[in-house]
A and B are shown apart, each in its own frame.
Chain A
Amino acid sequence: MIKTIDLSKEFGNNSVLKNITTTIQPGEVVAVIGPSGSGKSTFLRCLNLLEQPSSGEIWFHDNEVANSNANKTEIRKNIGMVFQHFHLFPHMTVLENVTYAPVKVKKLKKDEAEQIAKELLAKVGLTDKESSYPNRLSGGQKQRVAIARALAMDPEAMLFDEPTSALDPEMVKEVLDVMKDLAQTGMTMVVVTHEMNFAKEVADRIMFLDEGRLMEEDKPQTFFNQPKTTRAKEFLDKVL
């Protein structure tokens, strides 16, 4: 569904992504892991063109989107994103956060969008918070709203950039549980994470990035038990 070919990104002369070639299949859950600064976020942000790649190709279904003047809106409508720091709209209630884009971008009717939003909020366990403002919510609740907001666009794939890294430990589980449920529904997911257990349990595939290179990609079983590269071994020694 999403395919990158020799995807590279430089900031000035800092080469952050180097020739990443990979294919994300429909329904697949990919965990992207690697040391800090290895380019995980940049890779993710290239996929929905929040970052313009310096070279290489990105294919979404049968369209090359990185080099063509493809409509970025079309791609972003179909790929949801969840950020480490939530980025909820603070001046809107939870319900408004979730209905805003469907109404503005997909031109849904307001009551239609609210119907969908309420179902999604129920799914992430926040029915009672729909008229709260984001600053009344805990971190875990904010992130669940952010997930509902992204899902409200009915995307084909979801990108997560360290969705639990900014959370207090006791809130990590509630967010991971929502993500697990989502994975079970067959959602295509690319998740940058430091939660190795989540990666092991939920991911179909691990992408290990190091200094901008895709050093290894494999099934979690294989990757965690028999990493092929010394870089991966060193990394796993540190985090496990």
Chain B
Amino acid sequence: MNLDFSQIVPSIPFILEGIGATLKFVSVSILFGLVLGTILALCKITNKKILKWPADIYTSIFRGTPLILQLMLIHYAIPQLTGYDIAIFLSAVLAFGLNSAAYVSEIIRAGILAVDQGQVEAAEALGVPYPAMMLSIILPQALKNILPALMNEFITLTKESALVSTIGYMDLMRRAEIVGAQLYRNFEPLLIAGIIYWIMIFILTNIGSFVERRMRQSD
């Protein structure tokens, strides 16, 4: 085994630029998934079939098919069907956001259902309208319980984000591949990318624990 990092040193900045690209698209996707997932979760817990059914079907489809297939479909099928080219970044965010929303909605739904029904009654008895009750009483309590599960989902999304290299998004993974192909040496750039992914997840995990501790202040 002979590792030689000297050759790839000049390419390291090129790889590092991928961090920004990955972070940008991961954070937008997480946010998108969180908002849509919350809305889906709220639809699922109503007893209005007209809201519940679409949300359930949505979840079933996005959880029941491979993410890479969803990504390809969005990136290649939309232009084919509509004639409009879709930007790589947009396809990536759409695929990951829509997919994440399905998982997040299940996590949040379970979290909401785990909140003591007495909280709902106390809010109702005070005349608190439904949206306010959900936003400031039920969801914050649900969030506290599901934070570990949500963090898990965000970590998975961050790692799976490497899939967008397949549609040509210049993320960390893609850049490492390019450098590898240029130098005919794959191990070193991939190792660097791997370490960077690991550090990102490490930081994300710690942010999660920090937020969790902050939220447990009321315990």
Tell me the A residues contacting B by CB distance below 8 Å: 48, 50, 72-77, 80-81, 83, 85, 87-92, 100-101, 104-105, 133-135, 149-150, 153
Contacts and interface: CB of A to CB of B under 8 A. Distances in A.
Given A87-B116, A104-B132, A104-B136, A76 B122 contact: no
Contact of B125 (A80, A88, A100, A134): A80
Contacts of B144: 91
B126 A105 contact: yes
Contacts of B128: 100-101, 104-105
Interface string B123-161: 011111100100011001100100000000000000000
A88 B219 CA distance: 13
A227 to B, nearest CB: 32
A135 B216 CA distance: 11
Interface in B69-126: 116, 118-119, 121-122, 124-126
A135 B116 contact: no
A100 to B, nearest CB: 7
A240 to B, nearest CB: 31
B205 to A, nearest CB: 24
Nearest to A81: B125
Contacts of B127: 72-77, 101, 105, 153
Interface residues of B, number: 21
Contact of A100 (B136, B141, B219): B136
Nearest to A105: B127
B125 A90 contact: no
Contacts, number: 67
A149 B218 contact: no
B141 A90 contact: yes
Contacts of A76: 124-127
Contacts of A83: 118, 121-122, 125
Interface centre among B125, B132, B137, B141 (most CB of A within 10 A): B125
Interface of B: 116, 118-119, 121-122, 124-129, 132, 136-137, 140-141, 144, 215, 217-219
B218 A87 contact: no
30 contacts: A48-B125, A50-B125, A72-B127, A73-B127, A74-B127, A76-B124, A76-B125, A76-B126, A77-B126, A80-B125, A83-B118, A83-B121, A83-B122, A85-B118, A87-B118, A87-B119, A87-B121, A89-B122, A91-B215, A100-B136, A101-B126, A101-B128, A104-B128, A104-B129, A105-B127, A133-B218, A135-B218, A135-B219, A150-B126, A153-B127
A167 B137 CA distance: 25
Nearest to B125: A81
A66 to B, nearest CB: 16
Contacts of B126: 76-77, 80, 100-101, 105, 149-150, 153
A48 B122 CA distance: 12
A89 B141 CA distance: 9
B3 to A, nearest CB: 51
A50 B219 CA distance: 29
Interface centre among B118, B127, B217 (most CB of A within 10 A): B127
Contacts of B122: 81, 83, 87-89
A133 B128 CA distance: 21
A91 B141 contact: yes
Nearest to A136: B218
A1 B34 CA distance: 47
A80 B122 CA distance: 10
A149 B127 CA distance: 12
A135 B219 CA distance: 6
